[in-house]
Chains A and B, each alone.
Chain A
Amino acid sequence: MSTLAPATSRTSAAGPTPKQRRRRANRPSPLLVAFVLVPFAVESIWVFWPALQGFYFSLTRWDGLEPPTFIGFGNYTELAGDAVFRGALVNTVIWLALFGGLSVLGGFGMALLLQRERRGVGFYRAALFTPVVFSLVVTALVWRVFYQPDGLADQLLRAVGLEQLIRPWLADPQTALYAVILPALWRQIGYVMVLYLAGLKAIDPALHEAARMDGANARQRLRHVTIPQLRGVNAVVLSVIVIDSLRSFDIVWALTHGGPYHSSELLSTYMYSAAFQSLRLGYGSAIAVVIFILALAVILGYLVRAFREDA
């Protein structure tokens, strides 16, 4: 009898027998250990170790030129009193709500519309997904043309007689943040749509059939069959959205640099400008730690539960 009892997958009806469970204490094959350790080591070298250093830097004052000076939690107390940091935190929450919320709604809606294979659906899906494959520099350029004074946005408004709305979209503190969310959504909705399309595809058609037999209409089927079945997908979408929101940097940096005067500043852009423009690397690292903790706090609870269920 092998000690290499495979962790039986959830899809196999029986599940692990109690006998197999008791074998947990056994050690795995060394080759398997290597399978795990090598990738883990690579990630340790390029991610964990630098991250630990980053945590350490957050406790220092450092201009990147001279060796860092240890100052304890000085950077964190300064953060607490920093108005720009508070503004960035608020903007990040707005970003999370708007960017996150709208890309879920938009992505889910598109997935529902495009889930059935019919003529043209492939093209529509491809169209919505295309922006996902572009880099930030490409996206920023496309949208910069759109927002230019007398650019596409202004021309469109003029064409429909709304020229009184025209303003310097990216340079007006009232609109800058929202003008940046739009391109971010443009890239994200296609991505979320694909996640949901896969989720919808995985739902057993028999469930819908059964509901239909019971006389449920389309809306009831959506509410009582589709949405509950998508729990797994929702989890992944949530993680993706939170990570992407907190990490959203490229597009904001490319379009506004967090300006004008911090009005579109997110934690990620403030971190970058504190570290690399003001050369306050310790302070920047402290902001990065805050971002990390926020991401972890939102996601960890969910992930742990997901793992407990599955593994």
Chain B
Amino acid sequence: MSDFDPSRRRFLGHLGLAGVGALGASSLLSACASSASGPVDKASGAISLQSNLSSPQAKAAMEKIIENFNKQGSGRATVNTIASETYRTQLPTYLTSANPPDLYTWYAGSVANNYASKNLLLDVSDVWQGLGDYPQSLRNISTDPTGKQIFVPMTNYWWGFFYRKSNFAKWGVQEPKTWAEFITLCQTLKSKGVAPIGIGLGDTPWVASAWFDYLNIRINGAPFHRELLAGKQRFDDPKVKAVFARWREVLPYFDPKGKAYPFQEATTALLANKTGMFLIGTFFADAAPKDALGDLDFFQFPIIDPAVPVAEEAPTDGFFASAKTANPAGTKALLTYLASVQAQETYIQSSSGIVLPAHPKAKAADSPLVVKGKAMLDNAKELTQFFNRDSSDALQPTADTALTKFIDKPDQIDAILREWQTSAEKVFKG
């Protein structure tokens, strides 16, 4: 009655059938693959640019550049924009994948060198041979320790205390130059019932690192700062503690709500006259209504020790390429285009415009704000970039923890610095 034959041979035969069944399932899957999204033939296909510029203006600007490149006829490219938070965690995966995208938006400096030291980045020295106009400083931060160029910059920007001109006029206050003047300004603003210093740490805790970077390069100087971030100095050093002693002097003037919202909301608070000034990079303008920009001005982070050579944070944005690209020639052609005057001017015109082009002959927007920012960077004796860019993306979370805790519990600074050193060592060790 039964259809079951207990003979071993038949049983194995059916097992074989099961195997076919499994194969069937997988070929069904690959059938789905080709119908849902055909695999791209990489060698002859378009250059893929993976972009984290996800704010609407920057995204549109990038798409415009690629459109222009495609019209030019020297190659074909596609841009693929990923939300910046997702991009950050996925970048190592992209780079180490078997079939990686060709080109990536990211940052110059030690963060790029970190990937280069693992042989993940394409040597783009050829491209740099055509970039004779570029200043040596940009060439330096695009060069890895072995001496080859691995990065092509597109823009850089600056950080500063941004404020509304109309408000400063209304309150009858001036831009401070020194730390003492800065503290007086804070006191004045507080007496007017305004939270003097805006900040946005909820969701974007890394903004606090700007304070640490600036205090450290003002007090201990840029060389110490770089060594610290490279693991050659210790975070529990008394010199680092001195940074926090200064910071503590102005902690009472921080907007208490700033812990709870991201920098974009802090921007809104500044524009709504709820805070007096805000230490932030120019990218914040992407989150501000365009008509508000006319009333904005900024001042340089005040000088604390006149003996320390003035350094400024000037983060450089640009591109690196995958060492595994199937089409190095095409990738370099696109990089060359991205480094051109035309591409960078397109970017500046289509985005919020408060950035400086990397190409010295490309025209920056001629707003007073941009002129002032460019002058500040030109006058700086030294340039740093930003905490993660001068160290690694992996070190950033240790700073976020230490700095937000300090802002909450400044009394525990010794313990905080010890913990910071411990967790930083783990990152350096890997």
Do the two chains bind? yes
Stretch of B92-100, B133-141, B288-296 contacting A (4+ beta carbons < 8 Å): B92-100
A65 with B92: CB separation less than 8 A: yes
Whether B393 lies near A29 (C-beta < 8 A) is no
User: Is B283 interfacial (CB-CB < 8 Å)?
Assistant: no
Across the interface, name the chain B residue whose C-beta is closest to A150: B257
Could you tell me if B92 and A64 are in contact, using CB atoms closer than 8 angstroms? yes
Partner of A3, one of B4, B14, B201, B402: B4
Shortest Cβ gap from B427 to chain A (Å): 6
Q: Judge if A287 is at the interface, Cβ distance under 8 Å.
A: no
B394 within 8 A of A: yes
Across the interface, do B260 and A168 meet the contact criterion of CB distance under 8 Å? yes
Which secondary structure dominates where chain A touches chain B? Answer: loop
- Which of A28, A38, A171, A276 has the most C-beta atoms of chain B within 10 angstroms of its own C-beta? A171
CB distance from B33 to the nearest CB of A (A): 15
Which of B15-23, B331-339, B352-360 lies at the interface?
A: B15-23
Q: Is the CB of A259 within 8 A of B205?
A: yes
- State which of A97-105, A217-225, A237-245, A277-285 sits at the interface with chain B: A277-285
Residues of A within 8 Å of B394, CB to CB, are: 63, 277-280
CA separation between A61 and B430, bound complex, in Å? Answer: 7
Contacts known (A168-B257, A260-B259, A260-B405); A66 close to B118, Cβ less than 8 A: yes
CB of B85, distance to nearest CB on chain A (Å): 10
Chain A neighbourhood of B15, CB < 8 A? 30, 33, 37
- Rounded to whole angstroms, the CA-CA distance of A172 and B15 in the bound complex is 59
**Interchain nearest-CB distance for A130 vs B (Å):** 26
- Pair B89/A30 contact, Cβ less than 8 Å: no
Q: Whole-angstrom distance between the alpha carbons of A283 and B201 in the complex?
A: 27
Residue contact B260 to A2, C-beta cutoff 8 Å: no
Known contacts A37-B18, A149-B257, A259-B401; is-contact A65 B118 (Cβ 8 Å) = yes
Interchain CB contact under 8 A, A261 and B18: no
Name the CB-closest residue of A to B29: A42
Within 8 A of B (CB), among A19-72: 26-31, 33-34, 37-38, 41-42, 61, 63-66
Docked-complex contact B120 and A65, CB < 8 angstroms: yes
B40 at the interface (CB under 8 A from A): no
Give the dominant DSSP class at B's interface.
helix
**In the assembled complex, how far is the CB of residue A6 from the closest CB belonging to chain B, in whole angstroms?**
13
Report if A64-B96 is in contact (Cβ < 8 Å); known contacts: A1-B1, A262-B401, A278-B394: yes
Query: Closest residue of chain B to A275, judged by CB?
Result: B89
A148 at interface, CB cutoff 8 A: yes
Which residues of B116-141 are within 8 A (CB) of A? 118, 120
List of A residues within 8 angstroms of B11 by Cβ: 27, 30
The answer for the CA separation of A4 and B5 in the assembled complex, in Å, is 11
B427 touches A280 (CB 8 A): yes
Interchain CA distance A150-B260 in the complex, whole Å: 11
Does any Cβ of B come within 8 Å of A106's Cβ? no
Taking CB atoms, residues of chain A closer than 8 Å to B193 are none
Residues on the A chain within 8 Å of B380, using CB: none
Q: Which residues of B contact A262 (CB under 8 A)?
A: 401
B2: CB under 8 A from chain A?
A: yes
Q: Which of B21, B203, B419 contacts A34 (CB 8 A)?
A: B21
Q: Which residues of B contact A65 (CB under 8 A)?
A: 92, 95-96, 115, 118, 120
Complex CA gap A1/B3 in Å reads 11
Distance A277 CA – B18 CA, assembled complex (angstroms): 42
Q: Is A185 among interface residues, defined by CB-CB distance under 8 A?
A: no
A residues in contact with B308, CB < 8 Å: none
Whether B401 contacts A171 by the Cβ 8 Å rule is no
B13 within 8 A of A: yes
Closest chain A CB from B99 CB (angstroms) = 17
- The interface residues of chain B lying within 8 Å CB-to-CB of A280 are 394, 426-427, 430
Per-residue CB contact flags for chain B residues 400-430 toward chain A (1 = under 8 Å, else 0) read 1110110010000000000100010011011
**Cβ–Cβ < 8 Å partners of A148 in chain B:** 260-261, 265
Residue B368, interface by CB 8 Å: no
A33 touches B6 (CB 8 A): no
| Cα distance A262–B409 in the bound complex, in angstroms | 14
In Å, the complex CA distance between A169 and B259 comes to 10
A30 pairs with B17, CB closer than 8 A: yes
List, in ascending order, chain A residues with CB within 8 A of B252's CB: none
A170 within 8 A of B: yes
Closest chain-B Cβ to A168's Cβ sits at a distance in Å of: 4
Closest to A69 in B: B430
- Give the CA-CA distance A168 to B118 in the complex, in Å: 42
Q: Is A273 an interface residue (CB 8 A)?
A: yes
Q: Is the CB of A173 within 8 A of B430?
A: no
> What is the distance, in angstroms, from B122's C-beta to the closest C-beta of chain A?
15
* A278 and B397 contacting across the interface, CB-CB below 8 Å: yes
* In the bound complex, CA of A110 to CA of B396 (Å): 45
A292 → chain B, closest Cβ, in Å?
A: 22
Contact B6 A26 (CB under 8 A): yes
Residues of chain B with a CB closer than 8 A to A38's CB: 18, 21-22, 25
* Cα distance, A41 to B89, chains bound together (Å): 30
A257 contacts the other chain (Cβ, under 8 Å)?
A: yes
Q: Are B1 and A64 in contact (CB under 8 A)?
A: no
Query: Known contacts A2-B2, A259-B401, A260-B408; is A278 also within 8 Å of B260 by CB?
Result: no
The smallest beta-carbon distance between A178 and chain B, in angstroms, is 15
List A contacts of B404 (CB < 8 A). Answer: 259-261
- Let me know if A31 and B259 touch, CB within 8 A: no
Q: Mark A74-87, 1 if CB is under 8 A from B, else 0.
A: 00001000011000
How far apart are the CA atoms of A169 and B261 in the complex, in Å? 11
| Pair B259/A171 contact, Cβ less than 8 Å | yes
B372 contacts chain A at the CB level, 8 A cutoff: no
Chain B residues with Cβ below 8 Å from A168 are 202, 256-257, 259-260
**What 0/1 readout, one digit per residue, does chain A (148-169) give for beta carbons within 8 Å of chain B?**
1110000000000000000011
**C-beta contact mask, A87-123 vs B, less than 8 Å → 1, else 0?**
0000000000000000000000000000000000000
State the CA gap A66–B114 with chains docked (Å).
Answer: 11
User: Which residue of chain B is the closest to A282 with respect to CB atoms?
Assistant: B430
Contact present for B14 and A149 (CB under 8 Å): no
13 extra interface residue pairs, beta carbon distance < 8 Å, beyond A41-B22, A149-B261: A2-B2, A2-B4, A28-B4, A29-B4, A30-B14, A30-B17, A37-B22, A38-B21, A148-B265, A259-B205, A261-B402, A261-B404, A278-B427
In the A-B complex, list the 4 residue pairs whose CB atoms are closest, starting with the nearest: A30-B14, A168-B260, A171-B259, A34-B18
Q: What are 19 A-B contacts defined by CB distance under 8 Å?
A: A3-B2, A4-B4, A30-B14, A30-B15, A33-B18, A37-B18, A37-B21, A38-B25, A41-B22, A63-B430, A65-B118, A65-B120, A149-B261, A168-B259, A261-B401, A277-B394, A277-B397, A279-B393, A279-B430
